[in-house]
Structure 1
Amino acid sequence: MNDKLRPKTNKITGEIGQKIDIDPNIVTIIGLLISIFAGVLYASGNLGAGALFIIISGFCDVIDGAIARSHNRRTKFGGFLDSVCDRFADAAIIIGIIYSGYVDPVLGALAIHASLTVSYIRSRAESEGLNCTVGIAERAERLLIIIVGSFIAAILGGSHNVMAITIGLLTVLSYITVFQRVNYVWNELN
């Protein structure tokens, strides 16, 4: 999904980024804080609001890079900070869902592990000179799964089954992505 939408969204976000003159690292930190707040909302059982704040955080995650590119402020540290904050944000959201009791802690832990592993493989592959963006569940897809599942569960009155299915699906797709990325790296390096 990311590779197909990226050219279209880059044009839109680039225009927005040109109009915002703030340090992109500040936007990255704001996005992280919003994700942590989303996790708190999930922990309190507020699925709809949690999903809404994931959307807002996602906007920050997209716009920080657009600001950096538009104002010629791209730095290696900015990319590093963005990646670290994304990992904390992902964990905060899923920890909130676990704490709420909507999913079994073991399933939640597997979801966190799978999400972190997808990102780690990309980072490790990049250190070997590969651009490893393959796989069916990159970060945007994983967050979209949580958002859609949360809204459906909220409409159904806070359905534990829907959230368990949502996190189960996220976990399975993330592990499939892990396999796809390991396979890609293996083929490229051998």
Structure 2
Amino acid sequence: MPDINESMLNQFRPVLRRFIDPIADRIAVPADYITLTGFLVACAASAGYASGSLITGALLLAASGFIDVLDGAVARRRFRPTAFGGFLDSTLDRLSDGIIIIGVTAGGFTGLLTGLLALHSGLMVSYVRARAESMGIACAVGIAERAERIIIILAGSLAGYFIHPWLMDAAIIVLAAAGYFTMIQRMIYVWRSTKSN
């Protein structure tokens, strides 16, 4: 049984790498440019949601997520990863996360309060990890890291498109709850790490 503190998708990373790495090996574009492209696609996804199209938003969000995975593989296999590249990727990921939630809320697929809670929980998940790492504690734990949060939005988008739009609202509620739960997991993990030291 996987550890509840572990990201649910971590166990699939080796399988994903077998698919992504051959693609990354063929790309000669620097990873930072791929990162920027992924951010622009996320902005387009947000615009799709804001315009009222769940399917457009979902397809563009899926493309953005794929590009986000690809840029890391390109940096790892084709170019030497840089400190700035990691910083840029992390910063644009946070911007993308926020922009997507703003688009979903602007499109009327969730209420303002729910959208704000989802936005806040996502920021807190990232902040707790960044603060822990500034203390020298690796904190990539929790049931809902970025990949899981994107999948929740994608699942809600598809369910909302094919079944009923209120399912997208339900997905954003789940997203907010999962974010706060992950934040608590990380706080407990850091507390235990500091106690053991």
Q: TM-score, normalised by structure 1?
A: 0.95
Question: Matches of 2:173 and 2:53 in 1, distance apart?
Answer: 20
> Deviation digits for residues 36-85 of structure 1, max 9, x if unmatched?
10000000110011011111001110010111111232001000000000
Asked if residue 155 in structure 1 is aligned to residue 155 in structure 2, the reply is no
Q: Tell me, which stretches of 5 or more residues in structure 1 are unaligned?
A: none
Question: Matches of 2:112 and 2:59 in 1, distance apart?
Answer: 23
Asked if residue 171 in structure 1 is aligned to residue 189 in structure 2, the reply is no
Whether the aligned pair in 1 keeps the contact of 2:41 and 2:60 (CA below 8 Å) is yes
Partner of 1:146: 153
Partner of 1:95: 102
Partner of 2:81: 74
C-alpha displacement of 1:32: 0.3
Question: Matches of 2:135 and 2:12 in 1, distance apart?
Answer: 26
Partner of 1:3: 10
Question: Matches of 2:80 and 2:29 in 1, distance apart?
Answer: 10
Partner of 2:61: 54
C-alpha displacement of 1:8: 2.0
> Deviation digits for residues 71-113 of structure 1, max 9, x if unmatched?
2320010000000000111111100011111111111011011
CA RMSD of aligned residues (A): 1.1
Asked if residue 115 in structure 1 is aligned to residue 96 in structure 2, the reply is no
C-alpha displacement of 1:2: 2.9
* Number of residue pairs matched by the alignment: 188
Partner of 1:29: 36
Q: Which amino acid aligns with 2:136?
A: G
Instruction: Provide the secondary structure at the position in 1 that maps to 2:124.
Output: helix
Q: Which amino acid aligns with 2:176?
A: T
From the two aligned structures, give the one with the greater helix fraction.
1
> Bigger CA drift: 122-131 or 103-112?
122-131
Identity rate, percent: 44
Question: Matches of 1:20 and 1:150 in 2, distance apart?
Answer: 30
Instruction: Provide the secondary structure at the position in 2 that maps to 1:38.
Output: helix
C-alpha displacement of 1:9: 1.6
Q: Which runs of 4+ in 1 moved over 4 A?
A: none
Question: Matches of 1:96 and 1:34 in 2, distance apart?
Answer: 13
Question: Matches of 1:133 and 1:54 in 2, distance apart?
Answer: 23
Q: Tell me, which stretches of 5 or more residues in structure 2 are unaligned?
A: 1-7
